[in-house]
Amino acid sequence: MDLDRQASSVSALAKTAIFRRHELFQALGPEVCEQLAAHAKIKDVPRGTTIFMKGAAGTCLFAVCRGVVLVTNTSSDGKSLFLNEIKEGEIFGEIALLDGQPRTADAAAFTDCSLIVIERRDFLPLLRSNPDVMLKLVEILCSRLRRTTEQVEDLMFMDLRGRLAKTLLRLSQSAGDDRTLDISQNELSQMVGLSREMINKQLQVWVREGYLKIERRRLIILQPQALADILTAS
C-alpha cells in the first residue's frame, strides 16, 4: 500500500489536537505535541486495505484515530491467524519501530480508518527525552503480551462455541445498542482461528435457537446473555 496517496489534508493545528486526544500522547505538553504534529501524517485508509505486511521494513508507528485495524499472521499455505484488534486510541507497528527489524505480522483496515503515522527517526528522540511516553509504551507492550497469552489459552483450552461466543461478545461491545456486527463469516473465521465452514455451521445452530440473526454480511445478536452463558460454560 502506498500510504502517501492516502494522506488527508489536515492542518497542523488539527493534527496537534488529534495528538492531545490520543491515549499515548495526551500527557505530553503542547510544545511536544506541536513538534510531533509537524512531522506526523494523517492517513485515511479504506476498509480492506493492507497497511503493511510481515517482513516489510518497520520505519514508522501507527496510531488509530478512527476505525479498527486487524493484525494477523499468514502461513505459507495461506492460513491466517488473528493476533490483535487495534481500536481508536491504540497504536500498532511498535515492535518493528523499536528494534529496527522487519514487521512481525500483517495489518489491514477492518473498517474505514484514520491513522496517525510517525516515522521512526521522529519518534525515537521523543522516547529518549520523555520518560512518561516510554513508560506508557511499555504498558501497551505488556497489555499486548497479556492479550496474546489469553489468546493462546483460548486456543488450547476453549472449544469452538466458547471461542466464537467470546469473539461475538467482544465485537458487540462497540456495535451500539442494536448489537449489529458488520462482519463477514470469512473475517469472523479469521478472528476465531477456525474454518469458515465450522463458523457457518455453529452460527446456523444459534440462528435456529434464536440467539442471533444473519442478514447478508451482518450478524445481529438477539440474546447476548445466551452467548455469555455459553462462554462461561466453556
CATH of the domain at 181: 1.10.10.10
- Cell numbers at residue 133, please? 511516553
> Sorting pLDDT into bands at 50, 70 and 90, what band is 5?
very low
Q: How many structural domains compose the chain?
A: 2
For 33, 124, 203, the CA distances from 166, given in Å and listed in that order, are: 38, 37, 13
Of the three residues 155, 176, 206, the one that is the final residue of a domain is 155
Of the three residues 107, 136, 155, the one that is the final residue of a domain is 155
Range of the domain at 135: 3-155
Indicate whether this model's pTM tops 0.75.
yes
pLDDT tens sequence across 204-220: 999 999 999 998 878 99
Residues 85 and 141 placed together within one structural domain of the fold: yes
pLDDT tens sequence across 120-142: 988 888 888 888 888 888 888 89
Q: For the residues of 89-140, what is the DSSP string, one character each?
A: T-EE-HHHHHH-PPPSSEEEESS-EEEEEEEHHHHHHHHHH-HHHHHHHHHH
Q: How far is CA 175 from the centre of its chain?
A: 15
pLDDT tens sequence across 54-76: 999 988 999 898 899 999 988 77
> Sorting pLDDT into bands at 50, 70 and 90, what band is 203?
very high
The CA angle 128-131-136, to the nearest 5 degrees, is 115
